[in-house]
Structure 1
């Protein structure tokens, strides 16, 4: 592993950071105030992101993406992560790489429009009664002739309001496992506007304002067999193969926000004076800064190593779980300490710290809770010992 960035990686970081600071930061206050991201602004920033070569940069070159290796992609994600989540995710979209699992016809119908910025994808897994236990989902699909009929409810589905379609994971049978009977899962493309498929407004969220969630309802929703993504009953395997790196994506965006919060704290500690000296010279503040920087560095190294190992083909589930766990919990600590260093001013919306602090809470929940990450790590440690 090399710890120095290549010239290309340095250019990616500089280009992305300049875009974030110039094009995204100016709109943060309005998005935070209204909780709304207007479509006209999305289209404006989308065009600028495309012109800068930043749109859909996570995807391979053969489908129109930047073809970044995993480590370079994570460096890019860190820089985007500095900004309000709705702004960077919606306006500088990164289509889900699960779309690469589709047939040539499915790629043409679903992936290509996402790459062109004509629409967005969304994944529907979580249910009111099945969060971390995806194999316990109750939403189901049954075969009827050559069609499939879908029924059930999904919730917490990110940006489903603007997505042109969803990839819905549905129970399509059961199988015996060492831990009892579990659902067989199949993934389906479901186009918005399909009869029996309804997208309802989701919940109000204190985190990531402007980044919406929705409730999806399937009521005898009939779709053709060609809308199956991957193989029937193999949806869980498709998700495992293509979505593992999303934990690294969460880790990387956490790094960006933590870096921004630390920079504000450091600047304040150097400028703010109390009792005749900079507050950073007081041990109580200086030690906080040292701990924040150390935790951030540790999370960075875990994330960069996992990205490097991903490309080398040696990454493990525990590697990615460690990165996500450490980065998300580090962000919570750094955001909280940055506010503590600022005192009351840290909670005012003139600074981004209160937003970073609020947003940080969600990172320990989505894409696998901290408890799930710890389970993955400990399970991998115990397996060689027969655990």
Structure 2
């Protein structure tokens, strides 16, 4: 197997890493302190990302995007992962679901999002429907040439800065009541639509400045032309997005773990106790070795899944393995880094405690670790009839 990057991929890595180092990392402390990205700063970063050709890198070139394949895009996600979400998400990667836009939807949603003129968020999770998305109760009822939507979504990332939401709702409550599997349909809903209210959710310890919100729909009426894809086929669109999203979480976890390992290694090489640098003690050196080994394993699983996606052979199990291992490796690596830094690892003066806090959510969103293990175990047992 050839693990070498192409010249183009090396250039991509160098370009994104330089952008992260010069345009994102210097603002991390400010965002952490404010729990906000100041609007002027956000616009400046977006503009620089557009000028650098990094914006919408996951979208087809013929639509104005970067046209990167899955492997190259995973490298981009890995490098952006070195920075916090509030800043790295300004280098937008629009939801792949928008590729399903047709006709007027392309001009109203897809193309402006690729150009950086509009911003999307995705609404799937509900207070009573997290991992079990089929049990969602937000409902869109046909009414003449419209749909009328009622229900609540929560934990919706960056809805407070989005222009429209990619909404998943059930369109046949009768079927769901008898089978327990609600047919789901996707919709495009502008955030200023009457009947839709967006409120900031509770404060979160992870990724300050990157907010989760609650969306309340009360007799929210949208034209039937805002339905995305076929009625009742939203779960298929959701499945396509989840695979790419889980791969993105894995890549982001790898990038952040690399930054944490670099910081911990530097500290161990410089900090002296008992007449020598602490890295010479096995109690510090061996954890560093474990961190480096786990990081390499996480990266290999992630890049393997990306390569398979390019070949059209990536399975749900491949994405689940990458997301599971990389996110849990990040948790272990950040925890060991805190221990290596000692008391300073918990001080806000250094970024280690922030990485430690931020790492916690990676094992929850886009499918918990338990869901990933369920996917993997079912893929092993199903062929045996179990």
| Bin for the TM-score computed over the shorter chain | over 0.9
* Match of residue 357 from structure 2: 358
Shift of the alpha carbon at 1:144?
1.0
Alpha carbons of structure 1 residues 286 and 175: separation in structure 2 relative to 1, 3 Å: farther
Note the aligned Cα RMSD (angstroms). Answer: 1.3
Tell me whether 1:86 sits opposite 2:86 in the alignment. yes
On the 8 A contact 1:119/1:162 being kept in 2, the answer is no
Shift of the alpha carbon at 1:52?
1.2
- TM-score by length of structure 2 reads 0.97
Pairs within 5 Å for 1:205-354: 205-354=204-353
Once the two structures are superposed, residues 297-330 of structure 1 have per-residue CA deviations (whole angstroms, 9 ceiling, x without a partner) of 1100000000000010111100000000000000
Pairs within 5 Å for 1:74-223: 74-89=74-89, 91-173=90-172, 180-223=179-222
C-alpha distance in structure 1 between counterparts of 2:175 and 2:22, whole Å: 54
Shift of the alpha carbon at 1:175?
7.8
SS state at 1:43 partner: helix
Shift of the alpha carbon at 1:63?
1.2
On the 8 A contact 1:98/1:243 being kept in 2, the answer is no
C-alpha distance in structure 2 between counterparts of 1:320 and 1:135, whole Å: 20
Once the two structures are superposed, residues 215-255 of structure 1 have per-residue CA deviations (whole angstroms, 9 ceiling, x without a partner) of 10100111111010010011111111244211000000011
SS state at 1:143 partner: strand
On the 8 A contact 1:175/1:181 being kept in 2, the answer is no
On the 8 A contact 1:265/1:342 being kept in 2, the answer is yes
* Match of residue 47 from structure 1: 47
* Match of residue 367 from structure 1: 366
Once the two structures are superposed, residues 266-290 of structure 1 have per-residue CA deviations (whole angstroms, 9 ceiling, x without a partner) of 0111111111111111111111001
C-alpha distance in structure 1 between counterparts of 2:83 and 2:97, whole Å: 25
SS state at 2:151 partner: strand
Structure 1: runs of 5+ lacking an equivalent = none
Once the two structures are superposed, residues 338-386 of structure 1 have per-residue CA deviations (whole angstroms, 9 ceiling, x without a partner) of 1100101111222221111000000000000000000000001111101
C-alpha distance in structure 2 between counterparts of 1:207 and 1:181, whole Å: 33
Of residues 237-246 and 341-350 in structure 1, the stretch that sits farther from structure 2 once superposed is: 237-246
C-alpha distance in structure 2 between counterparts of 1:2 and 1:366, whole Å: 32
C-alpha distance in structure 1 between counterparts of 2:120 and 2:133, whole Å: 20
SS state at 1:341 partner: helix
Once the two structures are superposed, residues 3-46 of structure 1 have per-residue CA deviations (whole angstroms, 9 ceiling, x without a partner) of 11111111011110001001111100000011011111011111
Of residues 317-326 and 341-350 in structure 1, the stretch that sits farther from structure 2 once superposed is: 341-350
C-alpha distance in structure 2 between counterparts of 1:302 and 1:107, whole Å: 35
C-alpha distance in structure 2 between counterparts of 1:5 and 1:296, whole Å: 18
Of residues 105-114 and 285-294 in structure 1, the stretch that sits farther from structure 2 once superposed is: 105-114
Shift of the alpha carbon at 1:104?
3.1
C-alpha distance in structure 2 between counterparts of 1:142 and 1:175, whole Å: 12
* Match of residue 67 from structure 1: 67
On the 8 A contact 1:175/1:182 being kept in 2, the answer is no
Alpha carbons of structure 1 residues 230 and 128: separation in structure 2 relative to 1, 3 Å: same
Structure 2: runs of 5+ lacking an equivalent = none
C-alpha distance in structure 2 between counterparts of 1:376 and 1:318, whole Å: 6
